[in-house]
Structure 1
């Protein structure tokens, strides 16, 4: 799980780009300010705003009742509920597929190079809106089915790879139970990747949680479990982890230490450049997204440098 920084300027640029495409002439009774707030509000404000506006749109709105409506596969039954007409209006107003689904401007605005969730797959934009080749998919942290008003909320659209987006799908995520890339505190970031055995074995990757904050502990564990992240890293450990273990333990000296601290000692290159050249990773948190497995490898290397 990687982090993103709140950016008022990016949120406003996103709003100004999509506002002309949002159909505000429906019967929802939303003002221009309401629509602007839905699009640019920060993550911690989205659920209260959603509740406020849904109760205005549907006076006897009940969140639990609406969740049941959203989960139902019985379209005939849904037609006869109080939620159906207004839900259709909401979807016609905030048309995610029409506005975001076929465009590249958000990918260019975010400029995220690898998946936020796994940091494993490149999602960097190739092409543009006229010449479409490849770009990120966007996970709705709050699912479109249960929170249709948030379909175009800037901070609800997280750039991910196809695999993570499908895995997350409509799983219930909440900022109180899961890590949110825009809201991760120092306590939320207190996890690292490690290994169980010096000799390579299956399921050798472990997650070390170093915070004593129970809420952060639970969010880290829940997020990794729901996204299957530990399993994903274990599946790649026969290459990514095994190579690092071999570098450290197949030689009499700590070869990783030699590579990092002695080989390039007299050359005018930065620590960041050394890690980039030797291991193909970035070592600063804000740059992890630029190379796959950066956090994973950085954590493992840090541990290997400390172990005898």
Structure 2
């Protein structure tokens, strides 16, 4: 699990753009409740009661719902859950107003999920750091691909948070459609990319095994139950067990270069060329050295941990 630093300028800008755009969208959808645009809304007799409820409620809580921090979001959702369970019509209205599918529609004329993904600029999945999560919009403005957005708090259990900025985690399809599903996770039990910065508490290792074709098996060490819960939820060990080829390459490198590989590379092949340690590492291994940069390239965390264990890097 990697950390997304919410204090980065690009994240702050993305948050502001999201609020400015989506607050207007929410108000427009509240106003549109009167037209009963869906089959479920047509069945609500006292729709104007809910319109008044939303208009009064939104005046105080819209900013919190859209860009509130995860702990505040959870409390807000829990506070309204009894009413949602008691009033079926309230849930129908909430699901229309805070509609994730509407955000995901590809529309050039308004803000959508592509705009959010592009402004965040998260290059790899923070859950697994295995897959790219690139946003690609062609020169012709065709919206080609973007990351999936995982709802940290499942929208089936927390419909109020379906389009909350800090509940939408840019992620790969594997992590978004895997075993997490509608599991009711909480900040006390599972890591949240915007909240927890514990990347160094989780360490990749390996062992030799007679139960695998490659003879190798990935191990993952963690320091807390919360970290272990998160690893199991996303099947991180199982995912990385498919990367024993990369593991074998690093072990071979250790066999052929008994001394520090980066020093050999710099003194023999790059003599006279100034290059920072970060740049040299990226050139040699194709991944990032520093934990705050892991999110820029897939497998950075995995490779850094294994290379350190093998003594290839300091």
Structure-to-structure mapping, 1:97-136, within 5 angstroms = 97-102=101-106, 103=112, 104-127=114-137, 130-136=141-147
TM-score by length of 1: 0.81
The equivalent residue for 2:184 is 172
Q: What is the rounded CA distance, in whole Å, between the counterparts of 1:275 and 1:252 in structure 2?
A: 15
> What is the rounded CA distance, in whole Å, between the counterparts of 1:32 and 1:189 in structure 2?
42
* Contact 1:3-1:182 at 8 Å conserved across structures: yes
Asked if 1 retains the 8 angstrom alpha-carbon contact of 2:124 and 2:171, the reply is yes
Quick check: 1:202–1:234 contact (8 Å CA) kept in 2?
no
Mind listing any 5+ residue stretches in structure 1 that lack a counterpart?
67-81, 212-216
How far residue 259 of structure 1 moved from its aligned partner, in angstroms, is: 4.2
Q: Please, which runs of 5 or more residues in structure 2 have no aligned partner? A: 34-49, 107-111
Say if 1:101 and 1:296 are closer, same or farther in 2 by CA, change over 3 A.
Answer: farther
The 3-state SS of whatever aligns with 1:31 is: helix
Q: Does residue 1:49 correspond to 2:84, yes or no?
A: no
Quick check: 2:254–2:310 contact (8 Å CA) kept in 1? yes
Written as runs of structure 1 = structure 2, the 5 A alignment for 1:24-43 is 24-25=30-31, 26=33, 27=50, 28-29=53-54, 30-43=57-70
In structure 2, the residue matched to 1:20 is: 24
- Kept in 2, the 8 Å contact 1:247–1:255? The answer is no
Match of 1:253 among 251, 258, 275: 258
- Residues 194 and 208, structure 1, Cα contact 8 Å, conserved in 2: yes
Q: Per-residue CA shift, 1:137-179, capped at 9, x if unaligned?
A: 0000000100000011100000001111001221222110011
Trace 1:260-279 onto structure 2 (pairs within 5 A): 262-263=267-268, 264=270, 266-279=272-285
Q: Counterpart of 1:196 in 2: which secondary structure?
A: strand
- 2:310 corresponds in structure 1 to 304
Does the CA contact (< 8 Å) of 1:260 and 1:275 recur in 2? no
Deviations 1:110-150 (A, max 9, x none): 10111111111111111169411111000000001000000
What is the rounded CA distance, in whole Å, between the counterparts of 2:134 and 2:101 in structure 1? 20
- How far is 1:84 from its partner? 2.3
User: Cα 1:262–1:96, aligned 2, differ >3 Å: closer, same or farther?
Assistant: same
* Other structure's SS at 1:243 match: helix
Following superposition, the deviation at residue 288 of structure 1 comes to: 1.0
Distance apart, 1:208 and its partner CA: 2.1
Matches within 5 A, 1:194-233: 194-197=205-208, 201-202=214-215, 204-209=217-222, 211=223, 217-233=224-240
Contact 2:100-2:162 within 8 A present in 1 as well: yes
Q: How much does 1:54 deviate?
A: 4.2
Q: Corresponding residue for 1:5?
A: 5
Structure-2-length-normalised TM-score: 0.80
Q: How many residues align?
A: 275
2:173 to 162, 174, 192: 162
Summarize the Cα distance change of 1:275–1:252 in structure 2 as closer, same or farther, 3 Å threshold: closer
How much does 1:197 deviate? 3.5
Question: Corresponding residue for 1:214?
Answer: none
- Work out the CA distance in 2 between the residues paired with 1:257 and 1:305: 11
Q: Distance in 1 between matches of 2:225 and 2:297?
A: 28
1:181 aligns with 2:214: no
Distance (whole Å) between structure 1 residues aligned to residue 272 and residue 173 of structure 2: 43
Aligned to 1:242: 248
**Do the aligned residues in 1 keep the contact of 2:124 with 2:132 (CA within 8 Å)?**
yes
